[in-house]
Structures are given as structure tokens and as C-alpha cells.
Amino acid sequence: MDAVFLLGSFAVFMLMGVPVAYALGLAALVGAWWIDIPYAAVMVAIAGGVNKFSLLAIPFFVLAGAIMAEGGMSRRLVAFAGVLVGFIRGGLSLVNILASTFFGAISGSSVADTASIGSVLIPEMEKKGYPRDFSTAVTVSGSVQAILIPPSHNAVIYSLAAGGSVSIAALFVAGILPGLLLGLSLSILCLFIAKKRDFPKGEVIPLRQALRICWEAVLGLFTMVIILGGILSGVFTATESASIAVLWAFFVTMFIYRDYKWSELPKLMHRTVKTVTIVMILIGFAAGFGYIMTLMQIPLKITGVLASLSDNRYVILMAINVLLLVLGTLMDMAPLILIMTPILMPVVKSIGVDPVHFGMIMMVNLSIGLLTPPVGALLFVGSAVGKVTIEQLVKALMPFFLVLLAILMAVTYIPALSLWLPSVMLAK
């Protein structure tokens, strides 16, 4: 009855149109009233949820990505990807995916990826003869890589939701192979479609121009080296690497590229603070909600229900995937990670699934929800940037959904995709 009351009140607030973060906080207060504990205990849980040093990585990564995105990095990454694969038939679609790979390794945000890469490439692809709905579908599906490839903001949130028991560094490294596999699979699909629809080839860029393009892009991509290199070498933590990445992004943007006006910096900082504030409010209220769930023993009860379905780990993982895919169509990714991780973590541990591996399953699974109606964030951003309707975009995304589902099954049932690199690169 406790679980029905808590989750039911949360659902009611959502149906009333209350934003997810506030719905979590209000449901936590209702739950505290139901089980008769002081509201002050919920407030302490909320404060404790955001009072964590590791959370500083989120604002720093967001700021570094914003500086590089607005400072002309997306345009340079598109040009760099064009040097590498632009001359192939359907090359602009490959450029789109490869640019998203690079940009995701800097920003860690799929929404920023779609907005930045899409605004540059979608008009260019249409000019070269690509259908606008296809160009937009390539952009939004390619931007999913930012969720997997480090530095992923959602990996930091998952680590927090898991109680800090899962290393952020391990999650960053674990996302590399699934992210690259996704990019490769999408590229193969685009090559197949390009051949079938006879999309145009690009031009080979002259050597001198290509070298200049590569040099400018590599300066920005060095941000990725700072983040991963610093963490893997043990020189600094994920949070410290994020702060160093901000300094490097600022230096490259303002003193080397010099495309961004100093007068625009306060506005950029304001947008970043606004974004981070929303995330922190969500994290705090989710911590209060999770505290009430723990007191009501909801994770333990759900573990018992799922364990009663089968004693086969593969069946249970499939059931979890179906549950998350359904929830992903109804709610955004970050709140789902914060809500479902404490619930499902006991389940996956009971069947012997590594928490890092489960983190990658959640990342891939919930990233699909970003592309599905009615609340897929990437659908709305892609539709606005690409100037296509949601219906057109969903139809164009159908073959890309098949690729994403195939990657989800591979990550779910081949643990080595997630665990091999951490075991090699982080071995002591």
C-alpha cells in the first residue's frame, strides 16, 4: 500500500502538469506524511543529495561544452569529419555521425550535440540533395553517442543514483566501446541507405586546407584528451578534470579561435547556471523521493517481484529493458536514472550483473526514449533545428531505431562490451 500511495501521488502530480522535479519533491512530502515521519527528515535528504563533491563535475562539463559549442567548435568538427569521410558516397551523413562522436566527447550532451551539429549540417545536407527528414534523423540518432562517450553527464548522475558506489571513471571508460559501436553501426546503415538512394559523393579536400582544418579541430579535441587522460593517469579526478577542461576550452575559444565575443560570455554563463540549477533541483528532490522509497522498502519489494518472474538473469534483464523502454517514452532520461537506479540496483546485483554493466544498459536503453514520442527531448530539438514535423522525423527514424535496439541487446547480453576496457585501463 505504501508503494501505491507514493508512486500514485507522483503520477497524479505529473498528470496535473507539475514539472518532474517538483512532482518528486511533493510526492516525497506526501509519502513522509503517509508513514508519519518529520518533513525535516525529507529536507535533510534533499540537502544531502546535492551536497556531494562529485556533482561539481556536471556544471564544469556543461560549461566546457557550452564554450566549445558556441565558440565555433561544432563548425570545425564538421569540417574535420569532412576531411576524413566526406568524399564517400553519402559522405555527409557519415560526417554528421563522426562529428557527433567528436562533439559528444567534448560536450557530454546529446541535446547540445543535436542543436550544434544539426544547425551546421542539416541545411548543408539538404543543399547537397539529402532529404531534410533523413538529415534530421541522422543528426538526432548520431547525437545519442554523447550519452555513452565520456564525459557523459548522465554517467555522473547514475553514479550518484547508485549511492556513489560506482566509479565515474569506470563508467566513462565503459561507455567508449558501446558509443563507438553505435557510431559504426549508424555509419553502416547510412552507407546502405546512401547506396540505395544514390546520395551524392563529396569532394576531396586539398591537402593544405585539410591540414589547417585538422590542426584547428585537434586543438578543441584536446579537451577530450585532458578529461580522459587525466582521469586514467590518476593525475586528477573526474571533477578536477572537468574544471581543467573548462580552462582549456576557454583558452582555445577566446585566444586561438577568437570567434566568440567577450561581451557574450555573461549570457553564456547565465544559460549554463540556469541549466545546472534545473539539474541540481531534480537531483535534490530525487534524493528525497529515494529516501522515502527506502523507508517504505519499495526497492526490496520490487526485487522480490522481479525475482519471482524467473531465475534466469537473461529473462530478468529483458523484463527490465522492456520496463525502461516503456518508461522512457513517458519521462526524461535524468529523472528516470535517479528514480529507477535505486529500485533496480538490488535486482541486478541479486542476479550477478555488474553495476557498471547495468549503467551502460540504462544509458543505451533510456537514450532510445529521447527519440520516442510523446516526450522525447531529441525529437523536439531535432524537429525545431531541422524544420520537420515530429511525424516526419519519427517515420525517418524507423531504421535507426532498429540499430539502437540491436546495440541495446548487444550491450545487455555481451558484458565485455562494457567491462573489458575498464578492466584493462583501470586495472591496478
Domain residue ranges in the chain: 2-425
The pTM for the full model equals: 0.86
**Mean pLDDT over residues 10-14, rounded?**
85
CA 422 to CA 232: how far, in whole Å? 10
**End-to-end CA, the chain:** 47
Query: Does the pLDDT value for residue 298 go beyond 80?
Result: no
Nearest CA among 188, 186, 191 for reference residue 91: 191
The angle at the Cα of 389, spanning 384 to 393, to the nearest 5 degrees, equals 95
**Could you tell me the CA-to-CA distances from 245 to 141, 148, 411 in Å, in that order?**
26, 19, 29
Query: Does the pLDDT value for residue 126 go beyond 90?
Result: no
305 burial (CB, 10 Å; 0-12 / 13-18 / 19+) is exposed
Residue 379: predicted pLDDT: 85
Residue 363: predicted pLDDT: 93
Helix ranges (DSSP H) in 53-109: 57-70, 73-85, 91-107
Is residue 412 a contact partner of residue 317, using CB atoms and an 8 Å limit?
Answer: yes
Q: What percent of the chain has pLDDT over 90?
A: 17
**Mean pLDDT over residues 164-182, rounded?**
89
Q: Looking at the DSSP assignment, which residues form a beta bridge with residue 309?
A: none
CA 136 to CA 130: how far, in whole Å? 10
Higher pLDDT, 167 or 306: 167
Is residue 376 a contact partner of residue 393, using CB atoms and an 8 Å limit?
Answer: no
Residue 427: predicted pLDDT: 63
Residue 63: predicted pLDDT: 85
Contacts of 280 (CB under 8 A, 6+ apart): 50, 55, 58
Is residue 339 a contact partner of residue 25, using CB atoms and an 8 Å limit?
Answer: no
**Mean pLDDT over residues 146-150, rounded?**
88
Is residue 245 a contact partner of residue 60, using CB atoms and an 8 Å limit?
Answer: yes
Residue 140: predicted pLDDT: 92
CA 316 to CA 336: how far, in whole Å? 19
CA 200 to CA 194: how far, in whole Å? 8
Cell 569506470 appears where?
Answer: 170
Query: Dihedral sign, CA of 326, 328, 330, 334?
Result: positive
pLDDT in tens, 34-92: 888 888 888 998 888 888 777 788 888 888 878 877 777 777 887 888 788 777 887 88
